[in-house]
Amino acid sequence: MSTALPPPHQSTIEELDAEIERWVRPGQELRWFFRRFTGNPSLVAGVAILAFYLAAAIAALVYFGSGLTTPPVRVDWAEQFPPPGPQTAHPFGVMSGIGVDVLDELARAVPIDLAIVSVALASAMTVGVLLGAYAGVRGGAFDFWVTFAADVGAGMPPFFFVVVLYAGVELFVPPGVRLEVFPLFFGAVLWPYYARPVRVVSKQLVGEPFVESARAAGATRPHLLFRHVIPNALYPALAQVPVDLYNVFFVLTIFPYLACYSPTVYGLLSPLPNPFFPEWGSMLAQGTCYGFSIAAPPGYWWMYLFPAATILSFGFGVTLVCDGVERLLSTRRRT
Partner 1 sequence: MALAAGAILLMLVPTGTGPPGVGPGGNGAAASGVGLAAPSAPNSFGGWVTDGGSANRSGYTPLGGPLSVATGNVYCPSSYPLRTGVVATGPLVYTADVFGDVFAINRTQLDRGGGNGTVVWRASVGNAPTTPDVSSGFLVIGDADGAVTALDLRTGAVQWVHTFASPVLTGIAVVNGTVYLGTLNGTVAAIALAGGRTNWTVSAGGPLSGAVAVSGSRVFAATSVGGLVAFSAGTGARLWNITTGRLLSPGVGPAVYGNRVVLAANATAVASYAAQNGSLQWLWNGAGFAPRDRIEAEPTLSGTTVFVQTHEGNLYGINATTGILRWNESNPQFVAGYPVYSAAASTPSVLYAYDATQQLKAISLATGRVLWRATFLSVSYGPVAIDSGEAFLADEVGCIRVVGRANAGIPWSVQGTVTDPNGTPLAGVQIFTGLTTNHTNGSGGFFLTLPNGTYHLLFALSGYVEVGRDLTVVGPVAPLVVVLPVLTLYRLSGTVEDSYSGHGVANVVVFVYGPDLFLANITTGTDGTFALPVPAGALVLSAQSSDDHGDGQQSFTMPAGPFHGVVIAVPPTDLAIPPTDPYDLYLLLPFALLGAVGTTVWVAAARSQRVASGLPPAILSRFARYVLQRAILLPVQLLVLLTVLYIFGTFLPAAATQQPVCTFSVGQCTTCPWSDPVCVSKAFGFGYQTFIWNLFTGNWGTASYGHLVEPAVQFLIWYAPNSIELGVIALTFSAVAAYVLGLSAGWQRDRPVDTGVRTASVVGLLFPSFLVILTLFTLVYGPFLRAFGDTPFGVLPAPGWFEARGSVPHWIGIAYNTSPTGFPLIDAAWHGAWAAETIVLAKTLLQAALIAAIYVPVYLRYARNAVAQAAEEPHVVAARARGIPESVIRWRHTGRRVVPIFLLAFAATLPLYVGTQSLVEAMTNDPAVGTLLLSQMTGFVRSGFGFSMAAGSSKPGNFYQVTIFLVVTIVLVGSLASEVLSRYLDPRAARAEAK
Residue 43 CA to residue 41 CA, distance in Å, equals 5
Pattern of binders to partner 1 over 270-289, x per CB under 8 A?
Answer: -----------x--x---xx
Tell me if residue 147 falls in helix, strand or coil.
helix
Site for partner 1 contains 290 (CB under 8 A): yes
Residue 245 CA to residue 165 CA, distance in Å, equals 19
Q: How far is the CB of 147 from partner 1 (least distance, A)?
A: 9
Specify the stretch interacting with partner 1 by CB under 8 A; choose among 5-13, 15-23, 121-129, 152-160.
152-160
Which of 69, 114, 117, 196 is close enough to bind partner 1 by CB under 8 A?
Answer: 196
The DSSP secondary-structure symbol of 276 reads: T
- The burial of 121, by beta-carbon neighbours within 10 Å (0-12 exposed, 13-18 middle, 19 or more buried), is given as buried
Site for partner 1 contains 20 (CB under 8 A): no
- Residue nearer to partner 1 on the CB measure, 225 or 269: 269
Q: How far is the CB of 149 from partner 1 (least distance, A)?
A: 8
Residue 206 CA to residue 285 CA, distance in Å, equals 46
Site for partner 1 contains 62 (CB under 8 A): no
Which of 59, 167, 177, 216 is close enough to bind partner 1 by CB under 8 A?
Answer: 167
Measured CA distances, 214 to 21, 102, 132, 157 (Å): 16, 56, 20, 40
Site for partner 1 contains 152 (CB under 8 A): yes
Number of residues that bind partner 1 (CB under 8 A): 74
Pattern of binders to partner 1 over 201-230, x per CB under 8 A?
Answer: --xx-xx-----------------------
Please give the residues from 78 up to 117 whose contact with partner 1 meets the rule CB under 8 A.
78-79, 81-82, 96-97
CA 258 distance to own-chain centroid: 24
Residue 39 CA to residue 257 CA, distance in Å, equals 42
